[in-house]
Structure 1
Amino acid sequence: MQDLQILQDGGYRGAGLKSFKLSCTLSAFPEQILELGDTLEELDLSGTGLSSLPPNFGAELSHLKVATFSNCKFEILPKELASCPALEVVSFRANSMREVLEDSLPPTLLSLDLTDNQITSLPSRIGHCTQLEKLLLPGNQLQTLPSELSRCTKLSVLRLNSNRLATLPDWLLSLPSLAFLSFSSNPCASPATNGIKPPFGLANIPWSDLQVQDNQERDPSHPITQGLWNQSPDYAEDIAIQLFRGTFTETGTPADELAARLAAGAHESLMTILGQIYNHPDENAESPSSAYHGGIVTQLIPTYYAPLGLNHEVSSPQQQVEAADQGNTPLTAACAISMLTGLAGAAAHLHNRGIHHGNLTARNILASREDEHALLGGFTAATIYGRGHPQAEQLEKTEVLAFGQLIDDVLELITREEGDAMSYQGLESLSGRCASAEVAERPTFEEVEEVLQDMMGWRGMMRIPTIPGSSS
């Protein structure tokens, strides 16, 4: 982080800075930042309270690629952004922003984050941002999406949580690259209107029966506390405790995540929920800062389970290194197919219950190579859309693309031992089907699971099964 006084004194002039960050309160945009334009690529003025940009912002900062102004006071997305010829990543979280002007979006955008504002509509010119890959809009007041967004055929990540969308347009679910979608806390995804009933058969566990021990910190969504469940004076079970607090994030609300976890039910490749917590000390807290939504007790995952691999949404180099360190252990083909079979079954199970996971990536999977088994977690982006939803098939096949990308991640981990060539080729063929640009041509998760089960059976016979739609 840089210093304002040094900036004003010209101390950074000619220093060749590529990134610049201030967090102190500013009454106006510091003109001296424009003097760094020959090299500046990343600018972060989050928390400074700014509400406007100078008219020559784009002309002077011609190399700027990343602009972050979160927790400021912009009521309108500044049109000066559009004049930045290289701008790719824009973030204006929590600005109380009401409007996005037609001429404010640079066509070079790859990522746009407008989480936690008061935006009621998006401009039609968003369709000119044809390279857009990530669009984050949770916590706004959108009732519709502009049809021009259909031109953004590279859009992969779309977060629409906590808006006012009564329906999802069919063209949205036909976008060829859309793999990570979440839309909880919208009328089109309300459990009350989609027939989702409270979970049945779970234990109600008083907080007084739980003994907190330490923090596993292995779940990418929330820290999970390890503890004991004292079921009787003579018996205590090792368990994990997850409490849901806070408000919405770029993926959803803790309350939505809790609802999805409970509605998911039981599957061998999902983490088992043993019960719901009641009588927690924060249950009736008057302070809104606690924002406690509930808690669950789950099975304690053995420590030899680790994240399977990289996450497509991990963007910073440091995060990529950390993820790779945790999840780059090689897999045999047999192990990979076994894990993927269980995960496809878990995804089919979720969609049969009307649940869209929303973040089906290797980073949200805990895997045991010794057991050839994997567990799907990371429900922060999950959406309950309900059984019988008219767009259920399109929603499922959107997520099938994410599974195809998961297969690609797993293929990079396979050791390619002698005799594995056909297994590898079979997985490549299945990945290709999952990634079809025509969403309707993709298989369902039940079909994916069947293909993987067949691969487990034919692996020793050294032949490739007939896969509909493939050339093998």
Structure 2
Amino acid sequence: MHTLAQLRAGELSGITRLDLSCGLTEFPREIFELAESLEVLNLSGNALSSLPDDLHRLTRLRVLFCSDNQFTELPQCLGQCTALTMIGFKANRIVEVSGAALPPLLRWLILTDNCIESLPTQLGERPYLQKLMLAGNRLKALPPSLNQCHRLELIRIAANQLSELPQWLLTLPSLTWLAYAGNPLETEADAAALQATPLIDWAALRLEQQLGEGASGVISRAIWQRADGSLKPVAVKLYKGEMTSDGSPLHEMNACITAGLHANLIGVLGRIHGHPEDQQGLVMQLIDPSFRNLAGLPSLASCSRDVYADDCRFSADVALNIARGIASAAGHLHQQGITHGDLYGHNILLNERGECLLGDFGAASFHAVEDSPQTRALQRIEVRAFGILLGELLARTDSGLSDERRWALETLEQRCCQADVLARPGFSEVLRDLENL
């Protein structure tokens, strides 16, 4: 994090990224002195409510973060920034979004956790739009012009006021990751599954070290003293209350429970009962430390695609084990009326043998289990996510894969990713093809 003193003293000349979080109420004019180099500007965590009309003087600016400020409208000056591709205004007080505020090269827009009731038609006139984060607003509809956004791959519309998913949304050729939980349109979670989940008393848990923290909660290793007095090492996830980019953490908890048991999912042992601060949480299977993340999160440059280590390589057997395991897990979820919504390498844990677990249900949504064109479309959107994952695995598999098997897998990848959503195979067919190999 940089300081205002450094900026004013001229110590930051030539930098490409500036991070300032120091209670700003006005945009520091000294930032314009960095115009020849500045590409990423992060002003999150301040008290700003406006930006200067001449922001376009930052001619190299590609990325702007202004989350956790006090904006009530998306500044129209953004539309004049010709190099700007990524905009983040999460957790402000934004009510108004004008078409004039959308730059021509817009690729990634984050407006999570605001008060937006409608979006301008011009949003669909941004041909490079690839990632759109709108969870936690007051939207009752999406602009029909978005049907022109043929590059749109990820959209988060959870926790709004949508009464239906528009038909055109389910036909977008590139749509891959969709989260819509917490809207009136969503099918209810399986109440029987929620009720059948055992309650585990908080007093029976002894938390040890923290294992990780995400947007939705904190995971810790713990010891569970069971009713018979035996001790069992477990993982405990305590959910945060605030809105995430994917939606409500409590919807995530319900999806984890409803998912049920599967060899390639992290098992839920029970719900926490009696937390002193009434915090919601789950007790889950403790994962062996030999498991690691398959990939890293998408970067500013990759936008909607995972980042893999340069030396990441798989044998044919490991790659096929991963593909079969994830296809099986995703197919199981669909049978329970759940779309994962975030089927990515960074949400997959694996060990050296290719044993894998699909985690992070933050973007999961419920749909009807009965077969219908809408249900099939929702499921086939997720099949495209699997196709992308399969392609990433194939690109990093260079031993033990015959030309014939590679051709078959590349053909499957292409079928999963084809533009016609309903022409894609379902996961039962995908799994059958993989098992035939």
Q: 1:277: how far off?
A: 2.0
Contact between 2:35 and 2:58, CA under 8 Å: does it hold in 1?
A: yes
Query: After the TM superposition, which of the residue ranges 361-370 and 111-120 deviates more from structure 2?
Result: 361-370
1:331 equivalent among 297, 311, 314: 314
Write the distance in 2 (CA, Å) between the matches of 1:273 and 1:98: 39
Letter in 2 for 1:26: L
1:423 equivalent among 380, 400, 405: 405
TM-score when scaled to structure 1? 0.86
In the other structure, the counterpart of 1:162 is 159
Q: Does 1:228 align with 2:210?
A: no
Contact between 1:204 and 1:277, CA under 8 Å: does it hold in 2?
A: yes
Measured at CA, do residues 219 and 72 of structure 1 come closer, stay the same or move farther in structure 2, by a change above 3 Å? Answer: closer
Write the distance in 1 (CA, Å) between the matches of 2:364 and 2:299: 18
Q: 1:232: how far off?
A: 4.5
**Cα deviations by residue, 1:44-78 (Å, 9 ceiling, x for unpaired):** 222332222222221x1111111111122221111
Q: Does 1:412 align with 2:395?
A: yes
Gaps of 5+ in 1: 284-291, 456-472
Write the distance in 2 (CA, Å) between the matches of 1:208 and 1:123: 51
Contact between 1:357 and 1:382, CA under 8 Å: does it hold in 2?
A: yes
Q: 1:222: how far off?
A: 4.7
Q: Does 1:106 align with 2:103?
A: yes
Q: 1:254: how far off?
A: 1.3
Count of residues paired in the alignment:
434
In the other structure, the counterpart of 1:445 is 427
Measured at CA, do residues 272 and 80 of structure 1 come closer, stay the same or move farther in structure 2, by a change above 3 Å? Answer: same
Q: 1:351: how far off?
A: 1.0
**Cα deviations by residue, 1:184-206 (Å, 9 ceiling, x for unpaired):** 111111517xx654436433222
Write the distance in 2 (CA, Å) between the matches of 1:217 and 1:8: 37
Write the distance in 1 (CA, Å) between the matches of 2:108 and 2:418: 23
Letter in 1 for 2:135: P
Write the distance in 1 (CA, Å) between the matches of 2:404 and 2:67: 50
Supply the RMSD in Å over aligned alpha carbons.
2.4
1:32 equivalent among 9, 30, 35: 30
1:300 equivalent among 281, 286, 289: 286
2:346 equivalent among 340, 355, 363: 363
Q: Does 1:342 align with 2:325?
A: yes
Q: Secondary structure at the match of 2:185?
A: helix
In the other structure, the counterpart of 2:18 is 20
Matching of residues 190-209 of structure 1 within 5 Å = 190-191=187-188, 197-199=192-194, 201-209=196-204
Contact between 1:47 and 1:72, CA under 8 Å: does it hold in 2?
A: yes
Query: After the TM superposition, which of the residue ranges 421-430 and 200-209 deviates more from structure 2?
Result: 200-209
Gaps of 5+ in 2: none
Q: Does 1:387 align with 2:384?
A: no
**Cα deviations by residue, 1:129-174 (Å, 9 ceiling, x for unpaired):** 1101111111110000001111111111111111101111111111
In the other structure, the counterpart of 1:53 is 51
Query: After the TM superposition, which of the residue ranges 259-268 and 423-432 deviates more from structure 2?
Result: 423-432
Q: Secondary structure at the match of 1:80?
A: helix
Q: Secondary structure at the match of 1:415?
A: strand
Contact between 1:225 and 1:242, CA under 8 Å: does it hold in 2?
A: yes
In the other structure, the counterpart of 1:468 is none
Q: 1:338: how far off?
A: 2.4
Measured at CA, do residues 52 and 342 of structure 1 come closer, stay the same or move farther in structure 2, by a change above 3 Å? Answer: same
Write the distance in 2 (CA, Å) between the matches of 1:276 and 1:51: 41
Q: 1:220: how far off?
A: 9.0
Measured at CA, do residues 212 and 446 of structure 1 come closer, stay the same or move farther in structure 2, by a change above 3 Å? Answer: same
Query: After the TM superposition, which of the residue ranges 104-113 and 206-215 deviates more from structure 2?
Result: 206-215
Contact between 2:84 and 2:105, CA under 8 Å: does it hold in 1?
A: yes
Q: 1:118: how far off?
A: 0.5
Measured at CA, do residues 433 and 35 of structure 1 come closer, stay the same or move farther in structure 2, by a change above 3 Å? Answer: same
In the other structure, the counterpart of 1:183 is 180
Write the distance in 1 (CA, Å) between the matches of 2:375 and 2:341: 14
Query: After the TM superposition, which of the residue ranges 152-161 and 16-25 deviates more from structure 2?
Result: 16-25
Q: Secondary structure at the match of 1:162?
A: coil
In the other structure, the counterpart of 1:147 is 144
Write the distance in 2 (CA, Å) between the matches of 1:304 and 1:428: 30
Write the distance in 2 (CA, Å) between the matches of 1:263 and 1:63: 47
Write the distance in 2 (CA, Å) between the matches of 1:304 and 1:26: 45
Measured at CA, do residues 107 and 375 of structure 1 come closer, stay the same or move farther in structure 2, by a change above 3 Å? Answer: same
Contact between 2:217 and 2:249, CA under 8 Å: does it hold in 1?
A: no
Q: 1:223: how far off?
A: 4.0
TM-score when scaled to structure 2? 0.92
**Cα deviations by residue, 1:273-322 (Å, 9 ceiling, x for unpaired):** 12222122222xxxxxxxx2x222222221112112244x34479xx999
Write the distance in 1 (CA, Å) between the matches of 2:37 and 2:203: 58
Write the distance in 2 (CA, Å) between the matches of 1:448 and 1:379: 22
Q: Secondary structure at the match of 1:338?
A: helix
2:93 equivalent among 80, 91, 96: 96
Q: Does 1:276 align with 2:276?
A: no
Write the distance in 1 (CA, Å) between the matches of 2:237 and 2:364: 16
In the other structure, the counterpart of 2:255 is 260
Contact between 1:196 and 1:386, CA under 8 Å: does it hold in 2?
A: no
In the other structure, the counterpart of 1:465 is none
Q: 1:84: how far off?
A: 0.8
Contact between 1:188 and 1:385, CA under 8 Å: does it hold in 2?
A: no
Write the distance in 1 (CA, Å) between the matches of 2:2 and 2:211: 35
Measured at CA, do residues 430 and 273 of structure 1 come closer, stay the same or move farther in structure 2, by a change above 3 Å? Answer: same
**Cα deviations by residue, 1:234-270 (Å, 9 ceiling, x for unpaired):** 5222222222222110012110100000110111111
Contact between 1:219 and 1:378, CA under 8 Å: does it hold in 2?
A: no
In the other structure, the counterpart of 1:3 is 3
Q: 1:5: how far off?
A: 4.1
Contact between 1:323 and 1:363, CA under 8 Å: does it hold in 2?
A: no
Write the distance in 2 (CA, Å) between the matches of 1:261 and 1:244: 12
Query: After the TM superposition, which of the residue ranges 217-226 and 104-113 deviates more from structure 2?
Result: 217-226
Write the distance in 1 (CA, Å) between the matches of 2:43 and 2:215: 27
Letter in 2 for 1:411: L
Q: 1:429: how far off?
A: 1.2
Structure 1 vs Structure 2: percent identity of aligned residues? 37
Letter in 2 for 1:414: T
Q: 1:422: how far off?
A: 2.5
Measured at CA, do residues 444 and 116 of structure 1 come closer, stay the same or move farther in structure 2, by a change above 3 Å? Answer: same
